[in-house]
Structure 1
Amino acid sequence: MAYKHDYDKALTRLRIILQRLNDGESLGVKELAEEFNVSTRTIQRDFNEKLVSSYPIYQENKKWKMQDGFKIEKIRDIDDKIILDILEKITDGIGGTFASKSKKLLSKIKNEDHNPIYAKLNIEDISDKISDVNIIEIAIKEKKEIQCNYTLENKDTYSTTLKPLKIVNYEGFWYLVALNNDEIKKYYLKDLTNIKMTKETFEVENKIDELLDNSISIWFNQYTEPFEVKLYANKWTSKYFKRRPLPMQSIVSLHEDGGMEFIIKITHEMEILPIVKYWIPHLHILEPKWIQDMLEEDIKEFSDF
């Protein structure tokens, strides 16, 4: 008689089933249902909807088996496999040479061709900047200055020396965060050219990670003390801010109509204005009034246009 275990998570159940199949066991639905104290329908759904689509598993004489010759050699945990599937789809979204190289790297870890996960990510392709990114990465790690040219929006180009801190991605676009005359500045990565690493080294306070973690967009400002913005999201949008909270977000109150009031901390008004504009009319600025005034002015200017 099989021992019953109180496995309260489906992921734990899937992991154990997958491991036992990988070890060469033949598993019956009824026996598994008794062991995990769930219905036979639940176990059958585990196989049909979650495992068969990802692994060469088949049923023979009412027993589930792993195809002969197939082994999960490097991945012993289904959690790891799911994470790798997601990473693969993220790199697909970037596209270009970067995606093809990353897929080759992931294929050394995975041993399957089919990925059951799909992600639609609009990330800028920087495959043509791989050599420049490599130089910047080394300079960041070794704390060495770089010399480069930077092209402004008006197409004027100037030469500058930077102390690179981080390569970052905001809203799908790539930037270099660097020190210029001891001031943190952001540079659109594709507008940096003729990048050369110098022998000059630099020291920097390790505050950039905290600054980036608390930022919402590339508009963050290191010199402005974070201030609060209070917003109201109606029932149509509140669920999205619950699922994926903004950095420094805290809920003030939940309304009976399904809406919610919440607060975020920002250092620049442009960290929140584009978000509110995107969700109009379902997201409203309650405080401070001066940001709401800026929003109304932008809307008026757009209407006049």
Structure 2
Amino acid sequence: MSSRHEKLAHRLTQILRRLNSGERLDVHRLAEEFAIDIRTIQRDLNERLGFLEWDEQGRRYYRLDTAKLGWLTTQDIERFARFCSIQDLLPQIDRSFFHEQLAQSIQIKGLSYENVKDRRDDFNKIRQAVEHNRIIEFHYEKSDGSRKYYTLEPYALVNRNGIWYTVGIDCNGRKEKTFCFTQMSSISGQEQSFQADEALKQRIQENDSISHGNQLAEVVIQVAPAAVHYFTRRKILPNQETLRHLENGGLLLVCNDVHEMDIIPTVQYWIPHLRIISPEDLQEKVIGRLKTYLADKV
């Protein structure tokens, strides 16, 4: 890929990442940031990224349809950006084909993603609070139905497996916490600002785990031969890395810096193909949850 197309791919990657996270883009600011003219940025959004579905698509401001936020993985973004950066070199029939495939890919990904379009105002309150380092207050409904009031320094809105979460520092206990967005209510943004820990922000962005605080340093998981293909084709587990291939065709994976609830539901879903090797008590928790489930069904 030429230097010009590399620069274009980089620019489109940055734009896609921001759109995917729910940011409202200003073409004037983008043009200034990338040192190009406004018409080029508009072409990026209207033509090169024409397969996207928009909530706002004007002469100056662009924002992705709220129902589509978070659908693109990092791999998707990089792949789409690279294609879009070289599409001018392709015949029209190839360009049309690839645009159709990109749009179809997004639609398929969205089948299991929650729709937060009716919570757009609340979503934007949190997003703006994250951008401007403003404290938020809200009620949170836990899985047992109980409710608690929180004051939070919000650091990020993240999407994992189609679900939106708010990550931040609990102002009362000064601990890192993660909240499911749809379980948050009565959200209000405060004028009070906070000094953000940039190292924590970076760690949240780089970590696949949705749970922050009380994390396990390392979890080792054995994958049966029948499921190896799925786990080598893409990363299904958070912070997944290959430890080694086994003689029987199986695989050992390691996940670093994760919470147990990032691991247990996935292992349960893949039974009997996954087994937690260490820590051993985590595998015992999986077995215990299955025993409880079966006992309730008898």
TM-based fold match above 0.5: yes
**1:252, distance to aligned residue in structure 2 (A):** 2.5
Two-structure CA RMSD over aligned residues (Å): 3.6
Structure 1 letter corresponding to 2:43: K
Structure 1 equivalent of residue 100 of structure 2: 115
Structure 1 equivalent of residue 275 of structure 2: 284
Instruction: Tell me whether 1:211 sits opposite 2:204 in the alignment.
Output: yes
Judging changes above 3 Å, is the alpha-carbon distance between structure 1 residues 101 and 277 closer, same or farther for their aligned structure 2 residues?
closer
Q: Deviations over 1:13-58 (max 9, x none)?
A: xxxxxxxxxxxxxxxxxxxxxxxxxxxxxxxxxxxxxxxxxxxxxx
SS of residue paired to 1:116: helix
Alignment of 1:267-278 (within 5 A): 267-278=258-269
Q: Over alpha carbons, which structure has the higher Rg?
A: 1
Judging changes above 3 Å, is the alpha-carbon distance between structure 1 residues 148 and 240 closer, same or farther for their aligned structure 2 residues?
same
Alignment of 1:211-250 (within 5 A): 211-216=204-209, 218=210, 220-224=211-215, 226-245=216-235, 246-250=237-241
Alignment of 1:9-88 (within 5 A): 74=43, 81=48, 85=51
Which of 150, 158, 161 pairs up with 1:160? 150
Q: Relative CO higher for 1 or 2, CA cutoff 8 Å, sep ≥ 6? A: 2
Structure 2 equivalent of residue 180 of structure 1: 170
Structure 2 letter corresponding to 1:213: E
How far apart are the structure 2 equivalents of 1:100 and 1:173? 12
How far apart are the structure 2 equivalents of 1:297 and 1:154? 19
Structure 2 letter corresponding to 1:208: K
How far apart are the structure 1 equivalents of 2:100 and 2:206? 30
SS of residue paired to 1:295: helix
Judging changes above 3 Å, is the alpha-carbon distance between structure 1 residues 112 and 198 closer, same or farther for their aligned structure 2 residues?
farther
Judging changes above 3 Å, is the alpha-carbon distance between structure 1 residues 201 and 284 closer, same or farther for their aligned structure 2 residues?
same
How far apart are the structure 1 equivalents of 2:178 and 2:220? 27
**1:84, distance to aligned residue in structure 2 (A):** 5.9
Structure 2 equivalent of residue 138 of structure 1: 128
Structure 2 letter corresponding to 1:203: Q
Structure 1 letter corresponding to 2:135: E
How far apart are the structure 1 equivalents of 2:240 and 2:212? 18
Judging changes above 3 Å, is the alpha-carbon distance between structure 1 residues 170 and 250 closer, same or farther for their aligned structure 2 residues?
closer
Does the aligned pair in 2 maintain the 1:249–1:263 contact within 8 Å? yes
* Aligned-residue identity in percent: 25
The 10-residue stretch of structure 1 (110-119 or 244-253) with the greater mean CA deviation from structure 2:
110-119
Judging changes above 3 Å, is the alpha-carbon distance between structure 1 residues 221 and 197 closer, same or farther for their aligned structure 2 residues?
closer
Structure 2 equivalent of residue 98 of structure 1: 66
SS of residue paired to 2:136: strand
If the length of structure 2 is used for normalisation, what is the TM-score? Answer: 0.60
Does the aligned pair in 1 maintain the 2:177–2:213 contact within 8 Å? no
**1:154, distance to aligned residue in structure 2 (A):** 4.8
How far apart are the structure 2 equivalents of 1:194 and 1:205? 26
**1:98, distance to aligned residue in structure 2 (A):** 2.4
Q: Deviations over 1:72-120 (max 9, x none)?
A: x936xxxx95x764x559xxxxxx9624999xxxxxx999897234232
SS of residue paired to 1:237: helix
**1:136, distance to aligned residue in structure 2 (A):** 1.7
Structure 1 letter corresponding to 2:294: S
How far apart are the structure 2 equivalents of 1:271 and 1:303? 22
Judging changes above 3 Å, is the alpha-carbon distance between structure 1 residues 116 and 190 closer, same or farther for their aligned structure 2 residues?
same
How far apart are the structure 1 equivalents of 2:69 and 2:283? 46
Aligned pair count reads 214
Structure 2 equivalent of residue 198 of structure 1: 190
